[in-house]
Amino acid sequence: MTSMNDRRVVVTGIGLVSPMGCGIEANWAGLMEGRSGIGPITRFDTDGYATQIAGEVKDYHPEDFIPKKELRKMDPFLQLALGAARLGFEDARLTLDESVATRAGVIMGCGLGGLHTIEEYHRVLLDAGPRKMSPFFIPMLIGNMASGLISIYHGAKGPNLSIQTACAAGTHAVGQAFHMIRNGLADIMATGGVESTVTPLAVSGFNAMRALSTRNHEPQKASRPFDLDRDGFVLGEGGAVIILEELGRALERGAGIYAEMIGFGLSGDAFHMAAPAPEGEGAVRCMVNALADAGIRPDEVDYINAHGTSTDLNDKYETQAIKRVFGEHARKLAVSSTKSMTGHLLGAAGGLEAAYTALTLERQVIPPTINYETPDPDCDLDYVPNVARAATLRVAVSNSFGFGGTNGSLVLRRWNGQ
């Protein structure tokens, strides 16, 4: 067993359910094609809504992963979490028996939890009264039930936590799981993020903030990070579960390795409920902290999977933050936003994008930022416009920044077998 100071952490499994598809290869094919997963909302009648488009999960069948009698007890976000977790464990070829169960844990990020359930049972209460409420109402909606059910279904008896930090939740979950393994509190962690909020309340609420794109006539072109003509983010849904393991254990069992996790940084803006701090001041400190945690110089980073939401201030300030952290090297960095294809999965975004970053390092191809058509003078980096790009990549960063001024950055390194 390695000493605590020498413990290294690797990605050995990835489970994905997103607007790009179900599973690694469906997601990767979509990214390489530069295909948008955005379309008209089908979950409810959008007549009268300013925004009528979203990144919905289309080809996921929860009954393939969860017993039918259990489905009625679960909000859609829980169904997505369990599907992604099963795909992740299967990809890692990992079963948690009693010999490892107490050293295996779960940390999941989620932004809003069971919004479908809240809306449905509010109607039940008003129409039929309190006696018609389900006894599963509370367990169905609370955010920590994603990590709880993954633990129950897979027998993980170690750390079990839920992170609710808005759009940074998935990144914070992965980062905390990484630190738990590195610090000797666990050997295996299932981690990531999940969200399912394509609902009337969420869409109308974000519309009231004027945060969402209203490019309803061109849904596939609506998410356009860093482009001058961007008009807001596109709501997405999905789940991503990454299996992290202590390196020695992974090698001992002959696990496949996608990438090594080497750093995690956090910061707070202390500025505004929804707007990022001017010039990306909080994002600067977050990335600096992550690089320091990884022991990596700025000029060693080759690629950034940006937060890149397609909102005016976020894209502008993230660009400024990257230039402040990386200096002249920022001009040599490849920066792309996969949200241009998936939309913004809120609390699931960081988990999905960490998985995409690991795959980018493994496969040495950078996903593009699609819909980049009119350069914005305030966004003047290399955003890998519209077409995937083969590249030699060693170190990558994945950024997430959330409402309340909460920031997270992950640093991953290509696994070269050493």
Which tens digits make up the pLDDT trace of 316-330? 999 999 999 999 999
Residues 308-319 as b/e (b if ≥16 CB within 10 A, e otherwise) read: bbbbebbbbbbb
- For residue 237, give the 3-state DSSP assignment: coil
Told to judge if 122 belongs to the known catalytic residues of this protein, a careful annotator would answer no
Catalytic residue among 110, 116, 154, 167: 167
The pairing of beta strand 39-40 with beta strand 53-54: antiparallel
Question: CB of 58 within 8 A of CB of 280?
Answer: no
- Output the pLDDT for position 5: 56
Is 22 tagged catalytic? no
Nearest to 349 by CA among 112, 173, 167: 167
Q: In sequence order, what are the residues at sequence separation of 6 or more whose Cβ sits closer than 8 angstroms to the Cβ of residue 257? A: 10, 11, 12, 250, 415
The active-site residue out of 154, 286, 307, 379 is 307
Q: What is the pLDDT of residues 271-297, one digit of tens each?
A: 999 999 999 999 999 999 999 999 999
The number of angstroms, rounded, from the C-alpha of 5 to the middle of its chain's C-alpha atoms is 28
Does residue 1 have a pLDDT over 50? no
List phi, psi (to 5°) of 99.
Answer: -70, -20
- Domains of the chain are 4-252 (3.40.47.10), 264-414 (3.40.47.10)
Give the residue among 265, 275, 240 at the shortest CA–CA distance from 398.
265
For residue 348, report the phi and psi dihedrals to the nearest 5 degrees: -90, -15
| Per-residue model confidence as pLDDT tens digits over 175-197 | 999 999 999 999 999 999 999 99
136, 73 contact by CB (below 8 A): yes
Q: Is 344 a catalytic residue?
A: yes
Catalytic residue among 22, 286, 344, 379: 344
Confidence of residue 6 (pLDDT cuts 50, 70, 90): confident
The rounded distance, in Å, linking the Cα atoms of 392 and 365 is 8
DSSP string, 199-212: SHHHHHHHHHTT-B
The tokens 């209203």 sit on which residue? 214
